[in-house]
Amino acid sequence: MIDVKKIREDFPILSTKVYDKPLVYLDNGATTQKPRCVVEAEREQYYTLNANVHRGVHFLSQQATDLLEQARCRVRDFVNAPSEKEIIFTRGTTEAINLVASSFGELLDEGDEIIVSEMEHHSDIVPWQLLANRKGVVLRIIPFDEEGVLDQTVYKSLFSAKTRLVCVTHVSNVLGTINPIKEMVAEAHAHNVPFLVDAAQSVPHMKVDVRELDCDFLAFSGHKVYAPTGIGVLYGKSEWLDRMPPYQGGGEMISTVSFEKTTFEGLPYKFEAGTPNYIGSHALALALDYVESIGMENIEAYERELTRYALDHLSEIEGIRFFGNAPDRDAVVSFLVGDIHHLDMGTLLDRLGIAVRTGHHCAQPIMTHYGIEGTVRASFSFYNTKEEVDVLVEGIKRVSKMF
């Protein structure tokens, strides 16, 4: 069980006020708040253990390097990767996917096909479109139905002799749908096609095990799992990473450099050019410690209960329409009420101290699917409470009366 009251004490921002109202932070799908231990670890490292990694022989540099490599092992264990060499630090999910699009993309030829889903975040669409423009690669799209569930029959029919990669989100950041990734990976592998998972919305909410999913690539962002911004992870199977050319060139990623020929470092350094965010990676490791101290199973159970509670109570609101009703769903609720514009709803809720997100949530094809411009989205964390959900429901009712 989760002691929410005690957990909330770890997050100073949760007891602040906006417009003189207690903050009700329901925008966790965009970014999560940071516990004190993570913020203080960053400060502490700057005060006592700051030096550039790898290059120095001196004490501080060694210590900073150790922390970076320990963080890599921490992430390896967190996602159950076979080797820390398969853990590449990036700026976030977006950069991780761009790395694959750029580097794996080099292995592709004109006419090769990549399968993506209709419910992807822009960061799992646009890098593939840029690759399509650069290389003449073709995108094939898995559609979803009215409930927000991917059509597995169409998915199976999209494979051809030219399919080179499948890229699907584990959890939709708009619909909340949890996709059956393990089964979808197995299908791709039956065609000898590798699979990339966008895990930005799953890693914060459930146990994610890359060996169990058997995915070939998996990307997530630190800032959505209680770590600072500017740090993220790409997991990749070494059998693929070894074959892929470097992503960026610079320091840290080379073995020898001359004007005639440069040779590259092995994994994971081949993909980490330049001074890494070694402060961020250590803070990420501590954030992962933090969530595991609560327990991913506890987090998942609590957040599901909270989401259920939210759906039940929001359903009472006259004229509410939900987007995404998948049976297997996560802690995200998207909706519109009557013909109230999402931006008006968001702005008025904000005046009541309630932080929700409005708009297309970086997933415009989902909006196109429903013929809408945007939604209001409430997304939950284990530090949210049923009382906060009540405040949201009352807030929406108040706003509705104004129209």
Ligand X SMILES: *Cc1c(COP(=O)(O)O)cnc(C)c1O
Distance in Å from the first CA to the final CA of the chain: 41
What residue type is 57 in one-letter code? V
120-133 burial, b at 16+ Cβ within 10 Å, e below that, comes to bbebbbbbbeebbe
Cβ closest to ligand X, residue 112 vs residue 216: 216
Binding site for ligand X (CB under 6 A): 92-94, 121, 123-124, 169, 173, 198, 200-201, 221, 223-224
How far is the C-alpha of 337 from the C-alpha of 222, rounded, in Å?
Answer: 33
Tell me the CA distances in angstroms from 306 to 112, 119, 208, 381, one per residue in order.
Answer: 43, 24, 20, 9
How far is the C-alpha of 221 from the C-alpha of 90, rounded, in Å?
Answer: 9
Cβ closest to ligand X, residue 93 vs residue 384: 93
Cβ closest to ligand X, residue 223 vs residue 329: 223
Cβ closest to ligand X, residue 92 vs residue 395: 92
How far is the C-alpha of 185 from the C-alpha of 197, rounded, in Å?
Answer: 9
How far is the C-alpha of 109 from the C-alpha of 395, rounded, in Å?
Answer: 53
Q: How far is the CB of 202 from ligand X (least distance, A)?
A: 8
**Helical H runs in 337-385?**
342-351, 364-370
Cβ closest to ligand X, residue 112 vs residue 120: 120
Coil vs helix vs strand at 69:
helix
Q: How far is the CB of 389 from ligand X (least distance, A)?
A: 21
Tokens (6 digits) for 201: 């919305």
Give the number of other CB atoms < 10 A from CB of residue 1: 7
Q: How far is the CB of 181 from ligand X (least distance, A)?
A: 13
Tell me the CA distances in angstroms from 315 to 25, 307, 310, 352, one per residue in order.
Answer: 20, 12, 8, 20
Q: How far is the CB of 203 from ligand X (least distance, A)?
A: 10
Cβ closest to ligand X, residue 4 vs residue 126: 126
Active-site positions read 362
